[in-house]
Amino acid sequence: MAAPSLVLNRTEAAEYVVGDDLGWTIPPDGAATYASWASKHTLVVGDILVFKFEAGEQDLAFVTKEDLGSCDTADPLHVFEKPTTIKFLGADTFYVTSTLAGHCSKGQKMTFDISPSSTFFNQSKSKC
């Protein structure tokens, strides 16, 4: 007999500091650092991402998928020049980097998804 599915609902927005203690900077281990961070967090509409960095030494740019792939920051969608907190109101895939010379190619870039639902399903089989 299979056990019923476990349904978890997150009712409040979660707040995450991007990069945890590292913050938003050129990562010591390259792009894998932020890819790993993003893979460990399930982000949903209403969640808040905190980008901590030193103004003047870093910035945050939202770019297209193509521009992130080529590290082309000549025409970003939006740039934050100071540390920022962003609440996501819609589901989508986002691409972020820094516009400062060499930062993207050194791994200061990330792709992350904001999911539309706060319901997660975990099905497991067990015998009663």
| In the chain, where the domains are located | 15-118
pLDDT band at 13 (very low <50, low <70, confident <90, very high): confident
Q: Do 61 and 98 touch, CB atoms closer than 8 A? A: yes
- pLDDT the model gives residue 121: 45
- pLDDT the model gives residue 11: 61
- pLDDT the model gives residue 28: 95
Question: For domain 15-118, is the CATH number 2.60.40.420?
Answer: yes
Q: Do 27 and 110 touch, CB atoms closer than 8 A? A: no
For the entire predicted model, the pTM comes to: 0.82
- pLDDT the model gives residue 20: 98
> What are the two backbone dihedrals, phi and then psi, of residue 78, each rounded to the nearest 5 degrees?
-160, 145
- Could you please report the per-residue DSSP string of 61-117? EEE-HHHHHHT--SS-SEEESS-EEEE--S-EEEEEE--STTTTTTT-EEEEEEES-
In the predicted model, is pLDDT for residue 70 greater than 90?
Answer: yes
The pairing of strands 48-51 and 15-17 is parallel
Q: Do 47 and 17 touch, CB atoms closer than 8 A? A: no
Q: Tens of pLDDT along 90-128?
A: 999 999 999 999 999 999 999 999 999 655 444 444 444
Q: Tens of pLDDT along 15-67?
A: 999 999 999 999 999 999 999 999 999 999 999 999 999 999 999 999 999 99
SS3 39: helix
CA-CA-CA-CA dihedral for 111, 91, 14, 103, to nearest 10: 20
- pLDDT the model gives residue 117: 67
Q: Measured between alpha carbons, how far is residue 7 from residues 108, 115, 124 in Å?
A: 35, 16, 12
pLDDT band at 9 (very low <50, low <70, confident <90, very high): low
